[in-house]
Amino acid sequence: MKPFRIFAAIAAAAMLAGAAQAAENLTAETAGPGGAPYTSTTTLGELAAAAGIADFQVLDSQTLTNSMQNVAEGKTDVAAVPFILPFLMSKGAGPYAKLGKEKGAELAGNLAVLYTYRFGGMSLWSFDSSSVQGWSDLKGKKVINGPPRGAALSNARALTKIVTGLTDGEDYQGVQANWGQMVKTITDGSGDAMVLPIYFPDIRVTRAAASGSVTLYPVPKDVFEGPAMQKYLKSPGTGAFILDVAKIKPQDGVRIAAEDGVWRSPATVGGEVVRADMDFELAKALTAAMIANVDAYASKAPFMAHVALGEMDPAVTGMCGPNPIKYHPGAVAAWEEAGHKVPDCAKP
């Protein structure tokens, strides 16, 4: 196993010197800093260590496609997972095509959810100095649309196709970079525009705006309300992200070009995923730690106020329907003891 950076446990120890030694040592994988997956996983690690539940060893800036497979194969204990991935794995499709349908379904059956959250919206943005000043300008351009493989890339390509009818590699040139190199790729002129996950505020947008003003372009209202987008919003790991722009805190050098003052885009939904055979009490304790400390997550980053943490509605969480994985039995117990109704379709 690769070495892990032990920072979640260290942070908790620094805050609570003298706390009892945690009962478990867990490995975890998550995305890079600046997004909901990183904030969720590291905050869970801090809470677990402070409560004496577990010490987390967290490896960040990972491609979550690989992280989920590592959990399924028993190589990692916890991972942030967008819910399009279990669906693709269960079908032996997309990045899991080499597994085949039978092996993919077997591995997907090893996965269970502790809690869910929104990974962010997905939309177009560009520097104001760019030749791209909206969705209609993408033909023939270079578009930075995610890491080399994974949910973000799949979602970006699908969204661009729905809004513009354009196909990556045919009508425009997709440019990929690992999350750890994404800001550099954005600012060094590698692309004319970006179709990437969006938070409010978004650390990648903030850093890019230091090099020049940028504009964010939500999905046009007529496209968003059209049949193609509405069908897409019901696809695995996808939900609607609708927000009054007036409720978004302004950022220097960042403009939102919303036609009627409303942000509309698809949202990637997912959650913290563990092995289905994780100890019942351990899964319950981890989930209970999140439920009791939702405010702690919100205090870590302002965008966490918009990630629907603690929701149970399948229309928001992405559970049920085509999503093949369920809540862990221990998580179900934690949710129900806290007074939440867990949908029957999301129970194991």
How many beta carbons lie within 10 A of that of residue 182, not counting itself?
Answer: 23
Has residue 56 got a pLDDT over 90?
Answer: yes
Has residue 20 got a pLDDT over 50?
Answer: no
* Tokens representing residue 282 in the block: 């351990």
Q: What is the mean pLDDT of the chain?
A: 91
Each residue's pLDDT tens digit, 187-224: 999 999 999 988 888 889 999 999 999 999 999 999 99
Q: Could you give all domains of the chain from N- to C-terminal order, each with its CATH number?
A: 8-118+270-346 (3.40.190.10), 120-267 (3.40.190.10)
- Under 8 Å CB-to-CB from 50, ≥6 apart: which residues? 12, 15, 16, 19
Confidence at residue 59, expressed as pLDDT on a 0 to 100 scale: 96
Has residue 18 got a pLDDT over 60?
Answer: no
- Under 8 Å CB-to-CB from 189, ≥6 apart: which residues? none
The structure's pTM equals 0.78
Q: Determine if residue 234 is left, alpha or beta; phi over 0 gives left, psi from -120 to 50 gives alpha, anything else beta.
A: alpha
Tell me the three state secondary structure of residue 79: strand
Average pLDDT over residues 143-155: 87
Each residue's pLDDT tens digit, 102-124: 999 999 999 999 999 998 889 99
Q: Which of 17-21, 63-67, 97-101, 105-109 has the lowest mean pLDDT?
A: 17-21
DSSP annotation string for 130-185: SS--SGGG-TT-EEE--SSSSHHHHHHHHHHHHHH---BTTTBEEE---GGGHHHH
Q: Which of 183-192, 241-250, 292-301, 335-344 has the lowest mean pLDDT?
A: 241-250
Tell me the three state secondary structure of residue 253: coil
* Phi and psi, residue 310, nearest 5°: 90, 0
Q: How far apart are CA 227 and CA 222, in angstroms?
A: 10
Has residue 2 got a pLDDT over 60?
Answer: no
Tell me the three state secondary structure of residue 295: helix
Has residue 226 got a pLDDT over 60?
Answer: yes
Q: Let me know: does 267 contact 119? Beta carbons within 8 Å.
A: yes
Percent of the chain scored above 90 by pLDDT?
Answer: 74
Q: Let me know: does 331 contact 113? Beta carbons within 8 Å.
A: yes
- Under 8 Å CB-to-CB from 163, ≥6 apart: which residues? 124, 135, 219, 220, 223
Q: How far apart are CA 137 and CA 2, in angstroms?
A: 43
- What is the torsion angle, in degrees rounded to the nearest 10, for the CA atoms of residue 97, residue 169, residue 264 and residue 214? 130
In angstroms, the Cα distances linking 186 to 133, 143, 212 are 16, 10, 11
Q: How far apart are CA 324 and CA 346, in angstroms?
A: 9
Each residue's pLDDT tens digit, 329-345: 999 999 999 999 999 99
Each residue's pLDDT tens digit, 75-91: 999 999 999 999 999 99
Residue 22's pLDDT band (cuts 50, 70, 90): low
Confidence at residue 155, expressed as pLDDT on a 0 to 100 scale: 86
* Tokens representing residue 33 in the block: 């800093």
Confidence at residue 110, expressed as pLDDT on a 0 to 100 scale: 98
* Helix 100-108 / helix 84-91 crossing angle, nearest 10 deg: 140
Has residue 14 got a pLDDT over 60?
Answer: no
Buried b (16+ CB within 10 A) or exposed e, 42-52: bbbbbbbbbbe
Contacts 24+ apart (CB under 8 A), 307-310: 307/36, 307/117, 307/118, 307/119, 307/120, 308/116, 308/117, 308/118, 308/269, 309/40, 309/115, 309/117, 310/115
- What is the torsion angle, in degrees rounded to the nearest 10, for the CA atoms of residue 322, residue 145, residue 181 and residue 152? -10
